[in-house]
Amino acid sequence: MSAPLLELSDVSLGYRGVAVLSGVSLRIEAGEFVALVGPNGAGKTTLLRGMLGLVPVLAGRVAWGFDRSTSPPGYVPQRDSLDPIFPLTAYEVVLMGTYAALPPLRPIGARRKRLASQCLEQVGLDGLARRPYWELSGGQKQRVLIARALAAEPQILFLDEPTAGVDREAEAAIIALIAAQNRQHGMTVALVSHHLGRIQSEVRSVIVVDDGQVEKLSAADLAARRGDELSPWRRGVDVV
């Protein structure tokens, strides 16, 4: 078996010393498309943020299969976590993604500016580059944040509910965009979602988070365990 891109070994995650999730062990392989699903408040976002180092690891070990300092992961937060008071254009938001590998005092340079433009083009929003970010629709904002994550040139892309609060059409476009990154560019993707049904055809595996337990299922396991066997995990999870 090849070395995983990310491996959690008996990890406990929590806040102020109190564990929200305990004993989590799982691996994410290169090129995988994995969805983190489960009911509201189960700890999906905590798990994703724990993988990224945004929630303290209280016990266990999170190991990366690559050097995070030179190639940080791409991260798409929930778009409502960003404050509309910042006067930024769509392009300026995407450009921020190129800061990943930019030493603090080094100028941005033409290559990174080109990269930001290309990423914006990749998500189909190059025509809106100069528009204020806050004037964009929910779906457009989400695509800008995906472009920003791509501008970091990551090996793995983490997305926290990328389709929350957008209409069906925008949701389909966002899922297609993420799936294309995985299929065409081989990018590893891990995303939090409430609606497994809408992404099930794209994902290769699912991490189910419920009642403090975390279980990783492959697409084959998922198909085999449909019906009553999945019932403990099904609350709030739209398994088709």
Q: Is 157 exposed, middle or buried (0-12, 13-18, 19+ CB in 10 A)?
A: buried
CB of 238 to other proteins, least distance (A): 27
Torsion of CA 6, 42, 75, 150, to 10 degrees: 90
Our finding on whether 1 is near other proteins (CB under 8 A) is no
Our finding on whether 52 is near other proteins (CB under 8 A) is yes
| Residue from the set 4, 39, 54, 164 that interacts with other proteins by CB under 8 A | 54
C-beta closer to other proteins: residue 117 or 218: 117
E-assigned strand segments in 77-229: 156-160, 188-192, 205-210, 213-218
* C-alpha 128, offset from chain centre: 23
CB 19 within 8 A of CB 12: yes
Our finding on whether 99 is near other proteins (CB under 8 A) is yes
Binding to other proteins in span 145-164, by CB under 8 A: 152
Binding to other proteins in span 59-98, by CB under 8 A: 68-69, 72-73, 75, 77, 81-83, 85-89, 92, 96
| Edge-first strand listing for the sheet containing 57-64 | 18-28, 6-15, 57-64
Our finding on whether 102 is near other proteins (CB under 8 A) is yes
CB of 131 to other proteins, least distance (A): 8
Q: How many CB atoms lie within 10 A of CB 216?
A: 16
Contact characters 168-207, other proteins, x per CB under 8 A: ----------------------------------------
Cα separation, 203 vs 240, whole angstroms: 13
Write out the two tokens for 155: 């090996």
C-beta closer to other proteins: residue 158 or 233: 158
Please give the residue ranges that form the binding site for other proteins (CB under 8 A): 49, 52-54, 68-69, 72-73, 75, 77, 81-83, 85-89, 92, 96, 99-100, 102, 104-105, 108, 132, 135, 152
